[in-house]
Amino acid sequence: MEDALKLEYEAKNGWSLLDEGARKELTAFCEDYKKFLDDAKTEVEATEVLTAAAKAAGFTDIEEVIAQGGSVCPGTKLYAVNRGKSCAFIVTGKDDPTSGMKMIGAHIDCPRLDLKPRPLYEDSGFVLAKTHYYGGIKKYQWVAMPLALHGVVFSDMGRKKLNVKLGEDENDPVLYITDLLPHLAGGQMGKPASQVIGAEQLNVVTGSVPAYKAPEPAEEAKPEDQECKDKPENGGNDSLKTLILKLINEKYGLKEEDFFRAEFEIVPALKAKDVGLDRGLIGAYGQDDRVCAYTAFRSLLDFEGVPDKTLLVYLSDKEEIGSMGNTGARSCWLENLILELVHLHDAAYGMLELRRSMRNTKFLSADVTAAFDPTFADVSDKLNVAFAGGGIAFEKYTGSGGKYGSSDASAQLVTYIVDCLDQAGVPWQLTEMGKVDVGGGGTIAQFMADLGMDVIDCGVPVLSMHSPYELTSKADVFWTYKAYLAFLRA
Ligand code: MN
Ligand code: MN
């Protein structure tokens, strides 16, 4: 007798599929992930940390191979870096690249506050730094919490780069943005949330201690040779801002003008932590989209053997502001990289082979989606929302207001990928982000679709997305990693 045919769909729970051994593997993987979150809070740091890990695992810079007039053979491991902010990792396959590649693309920029080009000013006993927010944030969430400064400063015609990180070490001071006390916030509390904190109120406290002026010693008590020694050697008459500039100069060798040569980002000075007594969740800044970046990167790093199709993990920048610019997914950087790969495979290959390759490529747009939040249940359609712990979430389409601005994946592509996960025993859910007409969002999927690739969005469901401290389920982090691995192996 056959089992009764099960007709009704039953959603899976990612935790219930994990035996004791798998739970240990999950815990170890999530510890690595948390360390990555702490080490790489910006696109620049993520690029540095991941390329260093790739190098250690035997990946070679594609620029070196190109410069040496080299070629690739099946199993060659390469990486490519775009202006220090975006990168890609490749394992070349046995098949001709015109038969297509398998790619996973995530983004490594996160919502944050950038310092303005000329940020520093002094006002009423404080030195403050002006910011310009980056990406879609709720501005009121960024006040009254410890903040860190991360960034790069260039010198010598752009040849020398200095990395700056302040507020992350246990012994570092942190930075801070003030909020109004409730006692005096009557006016503020009556405003819509979008105006509770204005963009020009996101001013970062960077200093407050005025110069010490030694009291003038009485004339008779002043020995001739001691005249100058009692006064501070410098700083006695310095403004507060000058004193802060001196501290910056001592620590980093910078002058105020150097802020024009810099890109400084203000991020929460918070470490990734387990959340809940059973430690099932991860709280951290910037999990959109470093959770998909890390799981995608690890899936390629942990891929063993020589693949049939060339495998590529692409980590882009500027997704949070529309994927613009030459490090964003709308630039031709990825296309040029694929052209280089096609050409390295066969020196006679050029644009036609590039087009054929892209047309036959399957691309997972690895980005987060909103997890169902029981506290804010009314924005979601419970039948079609992603649940934390339910496994990797696929979005056949994103966009908003009648699927506008979406790359709608074909049912055929959905079938290919979910069959591939079913065969590997990986739980998945197929979801929409919220109720129709409530809102929406976009990813890099549409730009990859423009290149002719078959693309679908999939990634980890997140609670409190774009807040300074986002929440994910460890089960989803682990299963998303397993899902990407299954896709690369299929
Ligand atoms: Mn994202
Ligand atoms: Mn986002």
**Of 302, 329, 288, the residue nearest 476 (C-alpha):** 288
Cα–Cα dist 434/384, whole Å:
8
Taking the centre of ligand 2 as the mean of its atom positions, its distance from the CA of residue 289, in whole angstroms, is 7
Tell me which architecture the domain covering 112-184+197-210+237-268 has in CATH. Roll (2.30)
State the amino acid at position 206 in one-letter form: T
Taking the centre of ligand 2 as the mean of its atom positions, its distance from the CA of residue 159, in whole angstroms, is 32
Which residue bears the tokens 């290919």?
416
Taking the centre of ligand 2 as the mean of its atom positions, its distance from the CA of residue 249, in whole angstroms, is 35
Task: Pick the ligand that lies closest to the CA of residue 135.
Answer: 2
Cα–Cα dist 18/15, whole Å:
5
| 79, 99 contact by CB (below 8 A) | no
Taking the centre of ligand 2 as the mean of its atom positions, its distance from the CA of residue 461, in whole angstroms, is 12
| 488, 300 contact by CB (below 8 A) | yes
Give yes or no for residue 108 having a pLDDT over 90. yes
What are the pLDDT digits (tens) for 29-83? 999 999 999 999 999 999 999 999 999 999 999 999 999 998 899 999 999 999 9
What is the structure's pLDDT at 224? 56
Taking the centre of ligand 2 as the mean of its atom positions, its distance from the CA of residue 317, in whole angstroms, is 11
- Residue 319 in tokens: 């997704």
| 295: alpha, beta or left? (left if phi > 0; alpha if psi -120 to 50) | alpha
Taking the centre of ligand 2 as the mean of its atom positions, its distance from the CA of residue 107, in whole angstroms, is 9
Taking the centre of ligand 2 as the mean of its atom positions, its distance from the CA of residue 402, in whole angstroms, is 20
What is the structure's pLDDT at 136? 96
Taking the centre of ligand 1 as the mean of its atom positions, its distance from the CA of residue 76, in whole angstroms, is 30
Lowest mean pLDDT among 12-21, 259-268, 430-439: 430-439
- Residue 268 in tokens: 């929460």
What are the pLDDT digits (tens) for 431-464? 999 999 898 888 999 999 999 999 999 999 999 9
State the amino acid at position 201 in one-letter form: Q
**Mean pLDDT, rounded, for 281-293:** 98
DSSP state at residue 4: P
Provide the residues around ligand 2 (an ion) whose CB is within 5 A. Answer: 288
Taking the centre of ligand 2 as the mean of its atom positions, its distance from the CA of residue 277, in whole angstroms, is 28
Taking the centre of ligand 1 as the mean of its atom positions, its distance from the CA of residue 368, in whole angstroms, is 5
Task: Pick the ligand that lies closest to the CA of residue 465.
Answer: 2
**Of 265, 295, 367, 329, the residue nearest 82 (C-alpha):** 329
| 205, 126 contact by CB (below 8 A) | yes
- Residue 305 in tokens: 């053997």
| 472, 282 contact by CB (below 8 A) | yes
pLDDT band of 236, cuts 50, 70, 90: confident
Task: Pick the ligand that lies closest to the CA of residue 367.
Answer: 1
Cα–Cα dist 254/380, whole Å:
49
What is the structure's pLDDT at 230? 47
Give yes or no for residue 15 having a pLDDT over 60. yes
Q: Which residues pair with 161 in a beta bridge?
A: 154
Cα–Cα dist 391/228, whole Å:
71
Taking the centre of ligand 1 as the mean of its atom positions, its distance from the CA of residue 444, in whole angstroms, is 9
| 280, 23 contact by CB (below 8 A) | no
What is the structure's pLDDT at 216? 80
Beta strands 454-459 and 362-366, pairing class: parallel
Taking the centre of ligand 1 as the mean of its atom positions, its distance from the CA of residue 197, in whole angstroms, is 24
Task: Pick the ligand that lies closest to the CA of residue 107.
Answer: 1
Task: Pick the ligand that lies closest to the CA of residue 460.
Answer: 1
Taking the centre of ligand 1 as the mean of its atom positions, its distance from the CA of residue 107, in whole angstroms, is 7
Give yes or no for residue 232 having a pLDDT over 80. no
**Of 109, 113, 105, 115, the residue nearest 47 (C-alpha):** 109
CA angle 79, 53, 38 (to 5 degrees): 120
Strand stretches in 378-478, DSSP E: 392-395, 428-430, 454-459, 461-463, 470-473
**Mean pLDDT, rounded, for 359-379:** 97
| 73, 92 contact by CB (below 8 A) | yes
Give yes or no for residue 106 having a pLDDT over 70. yes
pLDDT band of 221, cuts 50, 70, 90: low
CATH number of the 9-110+285-489 domain: 3.40.630.10
With DSSP H G I counted as helix, E B as strand and the rest as coil, what are the percentages for the chain, rounded to 5?
A: 35, 25, 40
Taking the centre of ligand 2 as the mean of its atom positions, its distance from the CA of residue 384, in whole angstroms, is 20
Taking the centre of ligand 1 as the mean of its atom positions, its distance from the CA of residue 466, in whole angstroms, is 9
User: How far is the first Cα of the chain from the last one, in angstroms, to the nearest whole number?
Assistant: 32
| 91, 77 contact by CB (below 8 A) | yes
Taking the centre of ligand 2 as the mean of its atom positions, its distance from the CA of residue 320, in whole angstroms, is 5
Cα–Cα dist 83/370, whole Å:
31
Taking the centre of ligand 1 as the mean of its atom positions, its distance from the CA of residue 239, in whole angstroms, is 43
Cα–Cα dist 85/48, whole Å:
9
Taking the centre of ligand 2 as the mean of its atom positions, its distance from the CA of residue 466, in whole angstroms, is 6
What are the pLDDT digits (tens) for 187-203? 999 999 999 999 999 99
Task: Pick the ligand that lies closest to the CA of residue 365.
Answer: 1
What is the structure's pLDDT at 233? 53
Taking the centre of ligand 2 as the mean of its atom positions, its distance from the CA of residue 205, in whole angstroms, is 27
- Total length of the chain: 490
What are the pLDDT digits (tens) for 135-148? 999 999 999 999 99
What is the structure's pLDDT at 444? 95
Query: To which H or E segment does residue 219 belong?
Result: none
Q: What is the CA radius of gyration of the chain?
A: 26
What mean pLDDT is reported for the chain?
Answer: 95
Non-local CB neighbours of 412 within 8 Å, separated by 6+ positions: none
Task: Pick the ligand that lies closest to the CA of residue 445.
Answer: 1
Taking the centre of ligand 2 as the mean of its atom positions, its distance from the CA of residue 340, in whole angstroms, is 30
Taking the centre of ligand 1 as the mean of its atom positions, its distance from the CA of residue 320, in whole angstroms, is 7
**Of 189, 187, 199, 184, the residue nearest 143 (C-alpha):** 199
**Mean pLDDT, rounded, for 7-23:** 95
pLDDT band of 3, cuts 50, 70, 90: low
Of all residues in the chain, the percent with pLDDT exceeding 90 is 90
Residue 181 CA to its chain's centroid (Å): 32
DSSP state at residue 399: B
Taking the centre of ligand 2 as the mean of its atom positions, its distance from the CA of residue 110, in whole angstroms, is 7
What is the structure's pLDDT at 419? 97
Which residue bears the tokens 């991860």?
282
Dihedral (CA of 321, 324, 330, 332) sign: negative
- Residue 311 in tokens: 């495998």
What is the structure's pLDDT at 406? 87
- Residue 214 in tokens: 């030694």
Task: Pick the ligand that lies closest to the CA of residue 320.
Answer: 2
Write out the residue limits of the CATH 3.40.630.10 domain(s) in the chain: 9-110+285-489
